[in-house]
Amino acid sequence: MVWWCPTLQVHAPLINAHLKSLIGDSFSAKNFRTWNGTLLAAVALGRCEKDCGSERARRKAIRQATTDVSQVLGNTPAVARGSYIDPRVFDRFLSGWTIAGELRRIEDRGLPPEERRAAVELAVLDLLTG
């Protein structure tokens, strides 16, 4: 049975207040949305190996990844790219750096979902800082 209270509405200020009570003033819901958008874009671009040999194909892949992220986050592609995807993901991709190899290793290991996400997060951190 689903519980529903029509007078209870969850808004960003309520979520942010809850996050601040848990982890302090340094983070808001936007931090989590940005991290998730960055992960989604990095995975999408990491899966584009064979078809992304040309500059044109790489630009098309970036547009598609941005559109995919925007749909998940419920924003326009412009908002997703400008606010919720770390631009270093695109810079690295255009330079030939992706998490493709790590994605293959993660899939080969057959990790459970929570460990798979942690491994992808580490790969994206390495991509952004390496």
Q: Is residue 53 part of a domain?
A: yes
In-domain check, residue 99: yes
With bands split at pLDDT 50, 70 and 90, how would you rate the model's confidence at 1?
very low
Q: Is 50 exceeded by the pLDDT of residue 30?
A: yes
With bands split at pLDDT 50, 70 and 90, how would you rate the model's confidence at 34?
Answer: very high
CB 89 within 8 A of CB 128: yes
Q: Looking at 11-20, 32-41, 60-69, which range is the least confident one? A: 11-20
5, pLDDT greater than 60: no
* Total of domains in the chain: 1
Q: With contact defined as beta carbons under 8 Å apart, do 98 and 59 qualify?
A: no
Using left for φ > 0, alpha for ψ between -120 and 50, and beta otherwise, residue 74 falls in: left
39-81: pLDDT as tens digits: 999 999 999 977 888 999 999 999 999 999 999 999 999 999 9
Range of the domain at 60: 37-129
* CATH code assigned at 108: 1.10.132.120
Q: Is residue 112 part of a domain?
A: yes
